[in-house]
């Protein structure tokens, strides 16, 4: 069985993430959407909130599971028996950082390939930080996040009134 991991901060999950996850699920037998901590970012939504939002956004699927992990992605992938990491690439600006992560993960666990899917054209500009910023200043985030989580994103941001960086 070919198991892939779609890792990320998902702070919060966007329509762009959902698109990449669903496309990955068509290529691989099984996909685990893995919520991780990015030490370079101050996450706005805590790890449980991010996980619940993903569950709501994706609904039930035969070959997609959701999990969260505090630690190295490579360790999780090795324990889970994953063969690939799938990430979306929006623009050249993503490339350097993603390339660095792919090579680091390969060094930590040589059995792991990183596969990049190009972002769909309509999602190329989307980012979680943009969603948070628009929501924080009362803008309409409905074009950017799945409809199932629209209210929850607003409610959590209202509760914390937090900013953060992507």
- What residues are labeled active site? 17, 41, 90, 128
CB 123 within 8 A of CB 16: yes
Q: Is the peptide bond before 12 cis (omega within 30 degrees of 0)?
A: yes
Give the nearest distance from C-beta 69 to ligand PNS in angstroms: 8
User: Sign (positive/negative) of CA torsion 15, 69, 5, 117?
Assistant: positive
Residue from 4, 6, 8, 144 that binds ligand PNS (CB under 6 A)? Answer: 8
Given the complex with ligand PNS, which of 105 and 119 has the nearer CB atom? 105
C-alpha separations of 63 from 4, 13, 19, 119, 155 in Å:
10, 19, 15, 21, 30
Give the nearest distance from C-beta 6 to ligand PNS in angstroms: 9
How far, in Å, CA of 148 to CA of 59, rounded?
Answer: 9
User: Of residues 9-68, which lie at the interface with ligand PNS (CB under 6 A)?
Assistant: 9, 36, 38, 41
- List, in sequence order, every residue forming a beta bridge with 65; answer none if it has no partner: 32
Residue 73 engages ligand PNS in binding (rule: CB under 6 A):
yes
Give the nearest distance from C-beta 138 to ligand PNS in angstroms: 25
* Site residues, ligand PNS (CB under 6 A): 7-9, 36, 38, 41, 72-74, 101, 104-105
């Amino acid at each position: 069985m070919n198991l892939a991991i779609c890792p990320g901060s998902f702070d919060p999950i966007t329509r762009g993430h959902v698109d990449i996850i669903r496309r990955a699920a068509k290529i691989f037998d099984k996909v685990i959407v893995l919520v991780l901590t990015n030490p370079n970012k101050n996450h706005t939504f805590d790890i449980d909130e991010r996980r619940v939002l993903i569950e709501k956004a994706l609904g039930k699927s035969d070959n997609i599971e959701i999990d969260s992990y505090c630690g190295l992605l490579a360790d999780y992938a090795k324990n889970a028996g994953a063969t690939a990491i799938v990430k979306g690439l929006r623009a050249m600006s993503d490339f350097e950082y993603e390339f660095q992560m792919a090579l680091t993960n390969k060094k930590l666990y040589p059995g792991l390939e990183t596969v990049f899917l190009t972002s769909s054209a309509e999602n190329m500009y989307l980012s979680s930080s943009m969603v948070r910023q628009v929501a924080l200043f009362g803008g309409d985030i409905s074009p950017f996040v799945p409809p199932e989580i629209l209210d929850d994103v607003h409610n959590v941001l209202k509760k914390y009134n937090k900013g953060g960086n992507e």
